[in-house]
Amino acid sequence: MPDRPCLCDTTYIHEGKRAGSTDGDDWIRPVLKQGLADAISTRFFRPSAELAPYFSSYYLIEFAVSPGETVTDWLHPEWANIRFSEDGNWSIGSGGEFHALPPIVGTGPTSRTISFRVNGPTRIWGVGILPRGWVRLMDAPANVMADRTLACTPDSPYAPFAELRERTFGEEPDAIAEAQRIDQTMQELLAIRPPQLDEPRIGSIHRRLFDSELASVTDLAEKIGMSSRSLERICLRAFGFPPKLLLRRQRFLRSLSQYLLDPTQTWIKTLDENYVDQAHFVRDFQKFMGMSPSCYAALEHPVLGSATRTRTITAGAPVQALHRP
């Protein structure tokens, strides 16, 4: 991993259902080396219908590994997330060094990879926050929190989620009951936060990001019917990044997700139609993942490989940033 700044103090931690299921529960065990196939499971749960514009999914990763055994993977760029661990034995890395995380953290929208490590058995829940959810629930603009992971405390920007961990876990593990408690908490949060005036335009921008024919910010602004300046202002506040970077990130993730779904493919077969050539893609890969495609392919992805396939079946999109609002 390349050397990147890691801001570590008391607040900042890092800078840088089966289809047809009636209970919403779905999981698939990944096919991995070293026996991890039987040690890691991923489950995705759909939020209630009224929450769908604001949250992509709730997800549970269970690590039934031996005490002292470590599992490492690399997160791709995504929208904001709240994550919390039952046992707290997890960390994130930058520049090859890993730093312990508190039990519950919030991560703003990201434009670069985050490496993470779990040491020993644990259960980790995550809540994916879409751009409309960010402006509805968060007082800070998304670009201020972009590419940062912070502890969720009552005096942090993630204060609305500070009690989520305590409200979710029970005396015994119960994924369905825990997902229901998360959903109930999100409903309560939305009930006390009024809709924002920009929400309709944020939804329009979000939907247009899925138009693979859009090649420029000018095209996007024309489709939305607003000036480039207004478009950039809303994108920074709700999406975390300027529209040019958002379009570039979507193009990259469309390609990366195809590889994650089928790692037997060559990179050239996964390239989005907007890439000029493979060298163009390699430059984007280096920017967003901090390594070359060949380096990434040589690594095991015990969590993200499984989660991509599971998420496609359950939520209809291989990665969170490709989740249609």
Q: What confidence tens digit (pLDDT) does each residue in 44-81 have? A: 999 999 999 999 999 999 999 999 899 999 999 999 99
Phi, psi of 167 (to 5 degrees): -80, -15
Residue 2 carries which side chain, given as an amino acid letter?
P
Q: Are residues 171 and 204 in the same domain?
A: no
Of 21-35, 214-228, 304-318, the least confident: 21-35
The enclosing domain of 220 has a CATH number of 1.10.10.60
Nearest to 254 by CA among 270, 236, 237, 239: 270
Q: Are residues 277 and 139 in the same domain?
A: no
Percent over 90 (pLDDT), the chain: 68
| Dihedral angle computed from the Cα positions of residues 246, 130, 90 and 303, in that order, rounded to the nearest 10 degrees | -70
Residue 288, pLDDT > 80, answer: yes
The enclosing domain of 167 has a CATH number of 2.60.120.10
Residue 13, pLDDT > 70, answer: no
Segments forming the whole domain that contains residue 259: 199-298
Q: How many domains does the chain have?
A: 2
Task: Compare 133 and 318 and report the one with higher pLDDT.
Answer: 133
Q: Are residues 19 and 158 in the same domain?
A: yes
Q: 3 in a domain, yes or no?
A: no
Task: Compare 272 and 287 and report the one with higher pLDDT.
Answer: 287
pLDDT confidence of 37, banded at 50, 70, 90?
low
pTM of the model: 0.88
Q: Are residues 180 and 107 in the same domain?
A: yes
Which DSSP string corresponds to 266-285? -HHHH--TT-SSHHHHHHHH
Helix and strand numbers, DSSP H then E, in the chain:
12, 12
| 267 strand-pairing partners | none
pLDDT tens readout for residues 162-175: 999 999 999 999 99
Residue 196, pLDDT > 70, answer: yes
Residue 265, pLDDT > 90, answer: no
pLDDT, mean of residues 214-219: 89
pLDDT at 47 (0 to 100): 96
